[in-house]
Structure 1
Amino acid sequence: MASSIDGLTHSHVFLGEDHERNEKKVWLVIALTTAMMVAEIVAGTIFGSMALTADGWHMSTHAGAMLIAALAYMYARRNAANPRYTFGTGKLGDLGGFASAIVLALVALFIAAESLARLANPVAIDFDQAIFVAAIGLAVNLLSAWLLRDDHDHHHGHGGHHGHHGSHAHHGDHAHGGHHDHASGSDNNLRAAYMHVLADALTSVLAIAALILGRLYGWNALDPIMGIVGGVVIARWSWTLLRDTARVLLDAQPDGGDLSARIRKLMETPDDTVMDLHVWQVGPGHNAAIVSVATTAAHAPAFYKEKLRAIDGLSHVTVEVTPLG
């Protein structure tokens, strides 16, 4: 009996396939950004360069944003098996991504506001020094972007459902199955960190272009105009990240409802009708489903759960069977 009960148990750890690797990447970028920040602030103070000092403090805001992602990874990993989290800590990365998106929106607002102020009240620009600082910032951001790049295609999967496939039935006939799929899902926490790096790289590219043209042709107004353009683009990135992470946090249907449609197609027959269906994401590459079936046939919950093995990415399945007639 004990072995039979053991066969029914399953894990509720729904972290992304590359969780630990991505966590290490973010900590590495934090170290790189912090080192550059300290170097710029110290050099700016020693040599009296306000541009270097200001860029150093600017980098501190990005290090802080990266820290949100790193702490989300660490907390999710340490509490992955904590029974207080019924469906694991897989969505903590989306919570971190949502917070980072808000910070990104504030950065976009600050850049746009500062650029408008500069446009209304122009200031003298030390072009050579400003170009040098922007070039340093771009180099650091390109290196950080390379470190944070995602080596996996988010749309491919490694077939197979690894885990426990037991089922149990009682009054109401509930069945729980662990269809553990290792398909790479979108890691919004890493995506948020990557967007912060891209945002800083974009502002550096726009600044370098504006400063070079300003130095050559005296178009000083181009610098704040480029800042406004950069702020608008970053705000757009922030909105898409907010939208995508909010959908996960609010348990919206994955894939716009396509997964639900696939489940219904597999489950429904002349004898079986899906009466209630809930599908949501519990972590990168992991989805959960609760299916209520009304049937005129004498099928056990395990029969329906076996059908769902054909769908990748279902890591936690509950089936309720209601006999008719």
Structure 2
Amino acid sequence: MKNKVDKHQHNSHHHHHGHDLHEKKLLWVTLINISITVVQVAGGLVSNSLSLLSDAIHNLGDSSAIFISFLAGKISLKKADNTHTFGYKRIEILAALFNAIVLIAICIFLFYEAYNRFMNPEPIKGLLMLIVAIFGLLANLISAILLHKDQSQNLNVKAAYMHLLGDTLSSIAVIAGGVAIWFWNIYWLDPTITVLVGVYIIWHTWGIVKETVDILMQATPENIDLEKIKTEVERIKEVDNIHHVHVWKLDDSKIHFEAHISMKDNIDMVKMMAIREQIKQLLYEQFGIRHITLEMGYNCCNGEKQLIKNAL
């Protein structure tokens, strides 16, 4: 028993240490992104480049989004209380959704600006645009490398990482545009790059919007097959059926499961509890579900049906 407790404490400590590391990295990335924004706004205004200004707005959106991720990470560590019995983990999901929507909104604004630029082309200082874009690329690469390892473990870090990936690609596109404008004065490339980068970012961000909305709507997680769960549970010889099944995600990793289990026979409590543990073990081992609530009974919902009939 002591080993189990020690292991749980070690895991809990490891989780908190991992969370602290996520937070420190997010804070560093925020500071780097703010520096890019300042340089790009100045560079975009002086060089008259829309794609540089779009990159700056993009980075400003990212800086605030990543900072919101950082704050959300802090709040999510608060323990559950009487008002929020599930705790505060969902704040990270709300933050990830907000980040994604902000990014899509910025892209739509940039499409509008790019359209105006197509209609009224303006001269651009290509060399200055190129220098500032190279600075942006280097800073974004450093930020992306910082978050790369953690992005698969946390939806918020993933959202921040997607922001940075988009920034890195847009910096590469702006560099290419800077070269073409500097050498050949191809000014229409500036709004074209802005549109291409925007489309790419929306394409990738949409996945985060869908995932966060699914979690908030308590949709069945994609990797959970309810029919298979029903088949496996009803294979246990004492079980008549499983019904009132609800499966949802609390955040991007914790899956919760609740259901009613109706037994074939009116067995004693000790045997019923043993079967409940067997079902929990099955759900954990075969489907990776840890947070399980099962209501056990004999003819457990037939009584309810009778009550409803009588009421009608």
Superposition TM-score tier, normalisation by shorter sequence: 0.7 to 0.9
Is the Cα–Cα contact under 8 Å of residues 22 and 190 in structure 1 kept in the other structure?
yes
**In the alignment, is the contact (CA less than 8 A) between 1:301 and 1:320 conserved in 2?**
no
Letter in 2 for 1:277: V
Structure 1 280/26 Cα, relative in aligned 2: closer, same or farther at 3 Å?
same
Partner of 2:214: 247
Mapping 1:13-32, distance limit 5 Å: 18-32=18-32
**Which residue does the alignment assign to 2:201?**
234
Residue 96 in 1 paired to residue 64 in 2?
no
Query: Can you list the C-alpha shifts for 1:215-255, whole angstroms capped at 9, x where unaligned?
Result: 33332212211211111111112221111110011111112
Identity of aligned residues (%): 28
Separation in structure 1 between the aligned mates of residue 92 and residue 290 of structure 2, nearest angstrom: 17
The within-5 A match list for 1:132-211 is 132-151=131-150, 186-211=153-178
1:7-18 equivalent positions in 2, closer than 5 A: 18=18
**Judging changes above 3 Å, is the alpha-carbon distance between structure 1 residues 106 and 222 closer, same or farther for their aligned structure 2 residues?**
same
Alpha carbons of structure 1 residues 249 and 127: separation in structure 2 relative to 1, 3 Å:
same
**Residue deviations 1:111-163 (CA, integer Å, cap 9, x gap):** 222211111111101000001111111111111111111358x5xxxxxxxxx
1:210 Cα shift? 2.2
Q: Which residue of 1 aligns with 2:230?
A: 264
Partner of 2:252: 284
Which structure is higher in RCO with an 8 Å CA cutoff and minimum separation 6? 1
The match for 2:104 is 105
Q: How does 1:48-127 map to 2 (within 5 A)?
A: 59-77=59-77, 79-127=78-126
Distance 1:313 1:257 in 2: 9
CA RMSD of aligned residues (A): 3.2
What do residues 186-223 of structure 1 show as CA deviations (whole Å, max 9, x unaligned)? 52211111111122222211111222233333322122
What is the TM-score of this pair, normalised by structure 2?
0.78
- Unmatched runs of 5 consecutive residues or more in structure 2: 301-312
The one-letter code sitting in structure 2 at the alignment partner of 1:188 is: L
Counterparts of 2:58 and 2:132 in 1: how far apart (Å)? 12
Cα offset, 1:56, TM superposition: 5.7
TM superposition shift of 1:32: 2.0
The yes-or-no answer on 1:305 pairing with 2:277 is: yes
Q: Give CA-to-partner distance per residue, 1:53-80, whole Å, 9 cap, x none.
A: 9566663332111121111111111x23
Q: Say if 1:301 and 1:319, in contact at 8 Å, map to a contact too.
A: no
Aligned length: 279
Shift of the 205–44 alpha-carbon distance from structure 1 to 2, 3 Å rule, reads closer
Aligned equivalents of 1:22, 1:194: Cα separation in 2? 12
- AA in 2 matched with 1:32: I
- In 2, Cα distance between the equivalents of 1:219 and 1:29? 33
- 1:16, 1:90 within 8 Å by CA — same for their partners in 2? no
Q: 1:265 to 1:87 in 2, by over 3 A?
A: farther
Q: Distance in 2 between matches of 1:126 and 1:49?
A: 5
Alpha-carbon distance in structure 2 between the residues aligned to 1:217 and 1:292: 71
Asked whether 1:321 is paired with 2:288, we answer no
Say yes or no: does 1:213 pair with 2:180: yes
Does the 8 A contact of 1:51 with 1:133 survive in 2?
A: no
Q: Which moved more, 1:195-204 or 1:29-38?
A: 29-38
**One-letter amino acid of the structure 2 residue matched with residue 61 of structure 1:** G
Cα distance change of structure 1 residues 86 and 266 upon mapping to structure 2, 3 Å threshold? farther
Counterpart residue identity of residue 222, structure 1: L
Contact persistence 1:305–1:319 (CA under 8 A): no
Q: TM-score, normalised by structure 1?
A: 0.75
Preserved CA contact (<8 Å) 1:88 1:282? no
Give ranges in structure 1 of 5+ residues lacking alignment.
1-6, 155-185
Q: 1:292·1:319 contact (CA, 8 Å) conserved in 2?
A: yes
Matched-pair contact (CA < 8 Å) for 1:274–1:293: yes
2:256/2:290 contact within 8 Å kept = yes
More helix by share: 2
